[in-house]
Structure 1
Amino acid sequence: MPEVRRARRRPPAPPSIAPSSTARLSTAPLPVPGAPPDAWPGEELAVSGGTVYVRTTPWAGPPGAPRERALYVHGLGGASTNWTDLAALLAVRCAGWAVDLPGFGRSQPPTGGSYSIRGHVRAVVEVLEHVRDQPGDGQGGPVHLLGNSLGGLVSLLVAARRPDLVASLTLVSPAMPVYRVPQAFSRALLLLLLPGVPGVAERRLAGVTPEQSVRGMLQMCFGEPGRVPPERIDAAVAETRERARQEWANRALTRSMRGLITSYLRVGRANAWRLARALRMPTLVVWGDRDRLVDPRLAPRLAAAVPDARLLVLETVGHVAMLEAPEETARAVLGLLEDLDAGDRRSAAEAGDDDEPEARAG
């Protein structure tokens, strides 16, 4: 198991922001590791501007365990299958829904052709409302929201816009606004802001084979690519081959990248860093110290910005901790939810103590 540590160099938090705390790892029993599970089944869900594909992971907890709900949001170029392993572990507490953002995975492209961050936010809000309203335990209540990379930024914006829908927030290497291009990226990506350039990028991507795409993804996203199980590599190649048959696949990638970069230019009240400081739900920030796409030095900064957030930094892990270190990530999420339970019980007990003298007086 990778050691859990805090970042070696932590920028000082602004005076008005309390330092974050280290994530607590739950000791709850988890499913015994075995062969990587197959991708969970799913179905299409109508949202404004089209349909999205949503996979579901059934609750699998022991008798008497909490039965809650979680929604998982993937990153740029990813899909709902990025969450297969983590959803299987968190099923001891949460039934799971994992969405393919518009134009990704098995989701259709948005009817308007826009891949803006705001469009992805709208889609996730509607999926959250769908998850909330499903019959059964937890119906009508807020949902635990987990996002990675682009999906992490989208999840943060969703939580800021609709806090009533979000019970807790887990951000795995979220693509927070930065103004320096990561070394793993070509500076040519900034050209996506220019009219006509995304079309050129789409044609170049069309010439990349599924095997080349997966090899590049492993090198860019994983801290230790050699540790990826062969089954996961084979599944990624098959999924990439399926996606290559979609005429909109490369357009979704390049236009979403353009939408992400454009969102970084947003200032004022809509800026993601400012919105992070206003979050009030329990929040966990997870990062790998070998993340080549989003600078790990942002981890303590974000955890300090969100009030009372917890921080988990994993050694030898890259950009996709839910794929590289699913057990450690799951235990940190479960620790957050268990402590949320304990806080609710304390609040209920304190409320009961406050009511007791009044009850006797009556």
Structure 2
Amino acid sequence: MWDLLGYGDSRADPGVAPSLARQARTLAELLDHWGLVDASPVLVGHDIGGGVVLRAHLVEGARAGGLGLVDAAVLGPWNTPFTEHQQRHADVYRTMPADIFGDLVEARFRTATHRRLTPEALAAYTAPWRGEEGQRRWLDQVAAVSFEDTREVVARLGGVAVPTLVLWGAEDRWLEPATGARLAAAIPGARHELVPGGGHFLPEDRPGETARALLRMLNGVVEGES
């Protein structure tokens, strides 16, 4: 696993926009760095990670033995109204007191799951975005994400030729569940699974179901190779 540029414990250099295009190039470079280029690994991505995985494969030429797309930001427009509001009023959000901004981020994460997050889980999710540095990082990412980086991907979906699973939470409030069916229909032979009781953060809501669905896909790839 890897932290997208600017996410988790990753820190992008000042002035480096963590766009999906840059993330996809980084993933392709990492596969080479890890010696996995010839192994055709199965690539799994959630939310914008799904767009990154597809762009790395279809645009950057990263080889893949299979694809797992979990509540994936691919078919546009996929920016949520909150993200679009931040992009239109960036100066307001950047000058907002950090503690107030942190409260907004916390409220936002509460909508990512169907089940109520525990206080411990909520604290873990929001920790990277606390304080002035966290606020800047969040807004740098907001400014960098755009459907333009997946437009070329969408145009090439018909060329996906590896086993693909499109996994979606039935209670996703960020990217409506019907989007998953549309994405699967655009990818030849893709399998679509809708998980009851799962929100946008499907692995948080339904970890067992998510793991089993991905394992079924992985086992199918291995069996197809043997």
TM-score bin (small chain)? 0.7 to 0.9
2:204 corresponds to 1:287:
no
5+ unaligned residues in a row in structure 1: which ranges?
A: 1-96, 134-138, 346-362
CA deviations 1:306-347 (Å, max 9, x no partner) are: 1111111011211111221111111111111212222223xx
Q: Secondary structure at the match of 1:152?
A: helix
Change (3 A) 1:238 1:206: closer
Deviations 1:129-177 (A, max 9, x none): 22335xxxxx841222111111111111112135553221111111123
Q: Does 1:235 align with 2:124?
A: yes
Equivalent pair of 2:42/2:218 in contact (CA under 8 Å) = no
1:253 alignment partner, one of 127, 132, 141: 141
Residues 208 and 152 (structure 1 numbering): CA distance in 2 closer, same or farther, change over 3 Å? farther
Map of 1:45 onto structure 2: none
Residue identity opposite 2:91 in structure 1? G
Which structure 2 residues correspond to residues 280-359 of structure 1 after superposition, within 5 A?
280-345=161-226
CA distance in 2, matches of 1:102, 1:341: 30
Larger Rg: 1
1:80 aligns with: none
Rounded Cα–Cα distance in structure 2 between residues aligned with 1:141 and 1:230: 40
Secondary structure of residue in 2 paired with 1:177: coil
- Take 2:78 and 2:212, find their aligned partners in 1: how far apart are those partners? 33
Cα pair distance change 1:158/1:206, threshold 3 Å: same
TM-score (norm 2): 0.84
Are the equivalent residues in 2 in contact too, given 1:321–1:329 (CA < 8 A)?
yes
- Is 2:59 aligned against 1:171? no
Pairwise CA distance, 1:280: 1.0
Tell me the percent identity. 25
- Asked if 1:113 is matched to 2:16, the reply is yes
Amino acid at match of 1:224: R
Is the CA contact 1:117–1:263 (under 8 Å) kept in the aligned structure 2?
yes
Is the 1:150–1:260 contact (alpha carbons within 8 Å) kept by the matching residues of 2? no
Contact 1:152 1:174 in 2 (8 A): yes
Letter of the structure 2 residue corresponding to residue 203 of structure 1 = T
| 1:148 to 2:29 alignment | no
**Letter of the structure 2 residue corresponding to residue 147 of structure 1:** G
Cα separation, partners in 2 of 1:250 and 1:204, compared to 1, 3 Å: farther
Higher helix proportion: 2
Query: Residues 237 and 112 (structure 1 numbering): CA distance in 2 closer, same or farther, change over 3 Å?
Result: closer
Distance 1:253 1:338, change over 3 A: same
Would you say the 8 A contact 1:132–1:143 is kept in 2? no
Mapped partners of 1:299, 1:247: distance in 2: 31
